[in-house]
Structure 1
Amino acid sequence: MGACLEPTPAMRRYRVESSGQSFYLTRTAASPATHESRFHAVLPAPDLDAILAALDQVTSHPDWARWEEAGRLAEPDTSWTIKPGEDGPAAPSAWAVERDREALYLSGPWITGHEYDRWSAEIPYSELEDLRKALTALLAED
């Protein structure tokens, strides 16, 4: 269990909880359609700036350097995404993001889930900057 960070207004429905080597990104009031599969999510396209604001909250935290260093791996490894007792498949090792007018389609080295009206993802600190780059590239397409 980690520490829930106070959301900024720019994050709107998104919340962040910090943990040891990863953080949890949660969207409140989320439709079950946001959870496409264990490693894929479909989120509302207008949420792009709120997701980036949530990532900014993590990297602007005073403990960011320590978190990022603790989560850094020598080689990409997504074996942690395989359910205990199963053989796989593991999450993709790189982020893939696309957007149309309605939705953001994201897949990558994370685990996603949906419970009641909350969508959530566990994201390793070591993957945050690559996710940010992939999402920021969508802004450049505008």
Structure 2
Amino acid sequence: MGAIQEPTREMGPYGVEIRSESFYLNRTEAGGCTVPSRHEAVVPAADLTYLAAAFEQVRGHKAWRLREWAAGDPTDTSWTLPPDGTGEAPDIAWQVSRDGDKLSIRGPWTVYGVERGVLFTELRYLELTSLDEALKALGGGTDAG
């Protein structure tokens, strides 16, 4: 169980739940979002600024600042597999692309799908900086820290 954070206005439809080594990133009003695979989400391209604000909230929490998670292995993506351990593990590198008004994000996270109009994912703190850098390359993201 984690600590649900109060979303800021800058986060738009996103919310964050802080955990010990990871965080849940939730997007409400997700009717236009799709989940092509367990490790990929497609959201509106306008979400770049909302994601940057959500990541800033994560970096402002003591779980990030304490860096108790920092000794983890960023190449180990086995945690993203289903409980039965079957399926394809994601690449350790983020693949982000913009196609018109859509933003595709694929990488070392678990995307749980769009249920009841909510898209939710789990992302380890270890991967946040590299995702942020990939989003910056598209014109979004925040200062990595």
Offset of residue 63 of structure 1: 3.3
Structure with greater helix percent: 1
Q: Unpaired runs of 5+ in structure 1?
A: none
Aligned partner of 1:103 in structure 2 is 102
Partner of 2:69: helix, strand, or coil?
helix
1:110-141 Cα deviation digits (max 9, x unpaired): 0002211000110001001111111011118x
Does residue 27 of structure 2 align to residue 27 of structure 1?
A: yes
Distance of aligned partners of 1:99 and 1:61 in 2 relative to their CA distance in 1, 3 Å threshold: same
Offset of residue 71 of structure 1: 4.8
Distance of aligned partners of 1:36 and 1:21 in 2 relative to their CA distance in 1, 3 Å threshold: same
Aligned partner of 2:37 in structure 1 is 37
Does residue 111 of structure 2 align to residue 115 of structure 1?
A: no
Distance 1:75 1:22 in 2: 12
Q: Unpaired runs of 5+ in structure 2?
A: 141-145
Q: Are the counterparts in 2 of residues 30 and 118 from structure 1 also a CA contact under 8 Å?
A: yes
Give, as a single letter, the amino acid of the residue that structure 2 aligns with 1:97: V
Larger CA deviation: 129-138 vs 83-92: 83-92
Aligned partner of 2:81 in structure 1 is 82
Give, as a single letter, the amino acid of the residue that structure 1 aligns with 2:13: R
Offset of residue 62 of structure 1: 3.3
Structure 1 segments, 4+ long, off by >4 Å, are none
Offset of residue 32 of structure 1: 6.4
Give, as a single letter, the amino acid of the residue that structure 1 aligns with 2:36: E
What RMSD over aligned residues (CA atoms) do the two structures have, in Å?
Answer: 1.6
1:69-103 Cα deviation digits (max 9, x unpaired): 32542451001111122332112211000012211
Q: Are the counterparts in 1 of residues 20 and 63 from structure 2 also a CA contact under 8 Å?
A: no
Q: Aligned residue pairs: how many?
A: 139
Distance of aligned partners of 1:84 and 1:60 in 2 relative to their CA distance in 1, 3 Å threshold: same
Distance 1:137 1:120 in 2: 23
Distance 2:14 2:59 in 1: 15
